[in-house]
Amino acid sequence: MAVYTEVSDEDLSAFLAGYDIGPLMSLKGIAEGVENTNYLLHTGAGYFILTLYEKRVAEGDLPFFLGLMEHLADRGVTCPLPVRNRAGQALGRLGGRPAAIVTFLEGMSVRRPEARHCGMLGEALGALHRAGSDFTLSRDNALSLAGWSSLYREAEPRADAVAPGLSATLAGELEYLARHWPTGLPAGVIHADLFPDNVFFLGGKLSGLIDFYFACRDFYAYDLAICLNAWCFEPDASFNVTKGMALIEGYRRARDLEPAEIEALPVLARGAALRFLLTRLVDWLDTRGGALVKKKDPMEYLKKLRFHQQASSARDYGLVG
Amino acid sequence: MAVYTEVSDEDLSAFLAGYDIGPLMSLKGIAEGVENTNYLLHTGAGYFILTLYEKRVAEGDLPFFLGLMEHLADRGVTCPLPVRNRAGQALGRLGGRPAAIVTFLEGMSVRRPEARHCGMLGEALGALHRAGSDFTLSRDNALSLAGWSSLYREAEPRADAVAPGLSATLAGELEYLARHWPTGLPAGVIHADLFPDNVFFLGGKLSGLIDFYFACRDFYAYDLAICLNAWCFEPDASFNVTKGMALIEGYRRARDLEPAEIEALPVLARGAALRFLLTRLVDWLDTRGGALVKKKDPMEYLKKLRFHQQASSARDYGLVG
């Protein structure tokens, strides 16, 4: 949750004057997304999300993110569609920040996903990968191997205060992944943060995918591995193989997996677990005050990592056949 | 801003099944109100505010607050109307908290009110006092003289760390107010927290009053004194008498002031300033972590109090005639 930048009514009215979406009716700061300021905007033309991009999002990446949402929405992915102003621009400035208006998606995220949700999510993920395959812009994944090493160096001096031996575990895992990280897998645009918070369901169907601000170019199967981490573990950190099976089968209905992707799944799952373990650990150790965002427990991902370390093949995640 | 209690989709669906407002479409935590958890709720019947009452609101007071909003809305005050469920109840339970659904009001609060806003606000305040005059429930004002003394005792040991001499200033002011606080002024339901945040404007007109969770029985003119404090000072703590005049004249268009109320205005303004100075000071000194609410500077109200201490009559606030 986050409202970092407040918007005055005068500034907002001036900003909206550049758009063809009718007069301002109301604006409510909403608790969605942790990187940016989000408002629910009501105008004569309906409901929209107004996002002010905060410092954690690089301004140079915004054309990629907004262009991607437009590209995906055009190809039938139910994601927010950036609204262009009268000058044809999707990106403007408001309250001293880069700002954009996107369409509002109905639906609710589920707090306790069931296997049926995992199946729908998998299919939507495969469809997203297919729809993004001809997107012409690219963005490197800053949170892959090299990024993990930087995060490790940042967290290392105090990691053992969070859990004894954590520093050595992280160092060993980084070394393992550097040696075993796959190359040459099918790659393209991935969402890279498709947690249950970012997926809406309505009337028993998946109704929307949001928050594309980690999207980048990487292996498609790595995105699937992120979802295995985010959707298929129970609160006690046990892996629910029924959910894993539903997720993988759902994915394969939209985009089949190549043998090399299947083989790499355990190591990709390890990498995905390490990525969230490291970012959460750095946030956890960040003692700067005034955090409006509730910190997430890094230990959840240490437990997930331990599961992946003992997995021997994609069958351990529910792959059949 | 505040989202304290998260609501699961399952709990929410079960809760909504008791209402006649159609199926759930979406729910967004909103950054509105500091005492409670507020969500913007979209159902088949439209948009609503779903409020979960947190511990700072006494559960026993909720029938008063909800009954008051219903009473006022019935009499044409543009305030949220509580939605009753099929059992005829406006108050239910959700996520372990008392919860209510109220109608959504369009409009935007103004960050920098102008005299015209003060005039509209004054008229709406007078109309609110008239509309509430036949409301049958009552609630004492916990934040009047006796409440101020309790807050003072809580803040006193560390008050001078916030501003040198603050403790003595507060003690002297409390003593003055105890001796000069008026008795017998016209009284009834007051809003008691009608800050610019709680007043919406749309298309140049006042479109709504919200957040009735400090409402209580007290002198009507004390409510006006709260608004003089909240609406008529400039950011540099100077009093804008044009705004004061607009506020008072607007009020008198809806409900005229008796001579005793006019005479008491300076002392009521001192009490109102002390009330917000003390609650802000106690919040400021509260060092419990995890505050999701940005603390407000108590010193703003010390400056306002100093203005009121040198005011000699209601003319200093813009009263004419």
Contact A103/B at CB under 8 A: no
B249, part of any domain: yes
A265, part of any domain: yes
Which of A3, A31, A42 has the CB atom closest to B106's CB atom? A42
B235: CB partners within 8 A, 6+ apart: none
CATH code for the domain in which residue A275 is found: 3.90.1200.10
Give the model's pLDDT for residue A293.
56
Q: Are residues B147 and B236 in the same domain?
A: yes
Q: Are residues B60 and B196 in the same domain?
A: no
SS (H, E, C) B262-294: HHHHHHHHHHHHHHHHHHHHHHHHCCCCCCCCC
Q: Are residues B300 and B152 in the same domain?
A: yes
Chain A neighbors of B26, CB-CB under 8 A: 104-108, 200, 202
Q: Are residues B130 and B223 in the same domain?
A: yes
Q: Region A204-210: what's the mean pLDDT? A: 96
Q: Are residues A47 and A152 in the same domain?
A: no
A130, part of any domain: yes
Contact A45/B at CB under 8 A: no
Contact A24/B at CB under 8 A: yes
| Structure-block tokens of residue B233 | 């000072």
Dist. CA A276–CA A273, nearest whole Å:
5
Q: Nearest-CA neighbor of A7 among B109, B7, B290?
A: B109
A4, part of any domain: no
pLDDT, one tens digit per residue, over A42-83 is: 999 999 999 999 888 899 999 999 999 999 999 999 999 999
| Structure-block tokens of residue B181 | 């606080």
Q: Region A278-294: what's the mean pLDDT? A: 75
Q: Are residues B129 and B83 in the same domain?
A: no
B:127-146 residues touching chain A, CB 8 A cutoff: none
Chain B closest-CA separation from residue A321 CA (Å) = 35
Higher pLDDT, A123 or A37: A123
Give the model's pLDDT for residue B290.
47
pLDDT, one tens digit per residue, over A80-96 is: 999 999 999 999 999 89
**Residue A1: pLDDT over 50:** no
Contact B26 A292 (CB under 8 A): no
> Looking at B47, B78, B103, which one is the last position of a domain?
B103
How buried is A235 (Cβ within 10 angstroms: 0-12 exposed, 13-18 middle, 19+ buried)? exposed
Which ranges of chain B have pLDDT less than 50?
1, 290-291
pLDDT, one tens digit per residue, over A131-140 is: 999 999 999 9
Secondary structure tally for chain A: helices H, strands E: 9, 9
| Structure-block tokens of residue B22 | 């159609």
B55, part of any domain: yes
**Residue A289: pLDDT over 60:** no
Q: Are residues B119 and B251 in the same domain?
A: yes
CATH code for the domain in which residue A81 is found: 3.30.200.20
**Residue A33: pLDDT over 80:** no
Its domain, for residue A230, covers 115-317
Q: Are residues A183 and A221 in the same domain?
A: yes
The predicted model scores a pTM of 0.87
| Structure-block tokens of residue B261 | 């109320």
Chain B neighbors of A110, CB-CB under 8 A: 9
Q: What are the distances in angstroms from CA A16 to CA A11, A13, A38, A52, A85? A: 9, 5, 16, 14, 9
Q: Are A132 and A71 in contact (CB under 8 A)?
A: yes
Dist. CA B117–CA A177, nearest whole Å:
62
Contact A28/B at CB under 8 A: yes
> Looking at A43, A68, A103, which one is the last position of a domain?
A103
Give the model's pLDDT for residue B294.
66
Q: Which residue has the tokens 């395959």?
A: A133
pLDDT interval class at A34 (50, 70, 90) = low
B:292-311 residues touching chain A, CB 8 A cutoff: 292
Give the model's pLDDT for residue B286.
84
Q: Are residues A99 and A120 in the same domain?
A: no
End-to-end CA distance of chain A: 42
**Residue A113: pLDDT over 60:** yes
Q: Nearest-CA neighbor of A141 among A63, A237, A50, A216?
A: A216
Q: Nearest-CA neighbor of A271 among A157, A164, A160, A146?
A: A146
Q: Which of A29-33, A212-216, A305-309, B298-302 has the lowest mean pLDDT?
A: A29-33
Which of B12, B42, B111 has the CB atom closest to A9's CB atom? B111
Q: Region A2-21: what's the mean pLDDT? A: 86
Structural domain count of chain B: 2
Chain A neighbors of B28, CB-CB under 8 A: 28, 30-32, 40
| Structure-block tokens of residue A66 | 């907004």
Chain B closest-CA separation from residue A27 CA (Å) = 6
Percent of chain A whose predicted confidence (pLDDT) is above 90: 86
Which residues, in sequence order, are bridge partners of residue B51?
A: B38, B100
> Looking at B103, B134, B169, which one is the last position of a domain?
B103
Q: Are residues A95 and A208 in the same domain?
A: no
Contact B28 A25 (CB under 8 A): no
B215, part of any domain: yes
A228, part of any domain: yes
Chain B residue with Cα closest to A9: B110
Secondary structure tally for chain B: helices H, strands E: 9, 9
Give the model's pLDDT for residue B232.
98
Q: Are residues B142 and B258 in the same domain?
A: yes
Chain A closest-CA separation from residue B101 CA (Å) = 17
Give the model's pLDDT for residue B32.
73
Dist. CA A165–CA A181, nearest whole Å:
24
Give the model's pLDDT for residue B147.
95
Report phi then psi at B181, rounded to 5.
-65, 130
Q: Are B119 and B127 in contact (CB under 8 A)?
A: no
Chain A residue with Cα closest to B293: A292
Contact B110 A25 (CB under 8 A): no
Contact A24 B108 (CB under 8 A): yes
Q: Nearest-CA neighbor of B69 among B188, B187, B210?
A: B210
Percent of chain A whose predicted confidence (pLDDT) is above 70: 96
Give the model's pLDDT for residue B1.
41
Contact B106 A30 (CB under 8 A): no
How buried is B68 (Cβ within 10 angstroms: 0-12 exposed, 13-18 middle, 19+ buried)? buried
Q: H/E element holding B236?
A: none
Average pLDDT, chain A: 94
**DSSP letter for each residue of B130-195:** HHGGG-----B-TTSHHHHHHHHHHHHHHHHHHSTTHHHHHHHHHHHHHHH---S--EEEE-S---
**Residue A317: pLDDT over 50:** yes
Chain B closest-CA separation from residue A268 CA (Å) = 31
A:169-198 residues touching chain B, CB 8 A cutoff: none
Q: Region A94-108: what's the mean pLDDT? A: 95
Q: H/E element holding B26?
A: strand B24-29
| Structure-block tokens of residue B154 | 């809580």
Q: Which of A2-11, A250-259, B56-65 has the lowest mean pLDDT?
A: A2-11
| Structure-block tokens of residue A129 | 């990968």
Contact A26 B108 (CB under 8 A): yes
B174, part of any domain: yes
Dist. CA A111–CA A118, nearest whole Å:
12
How buried is B136 (Cβ within 10 angstroms: 0-12 exposed, 13-18 middle, 19+ buried)? exposed
Q: Are residues B250 and B294 in the same domain?
A: yes
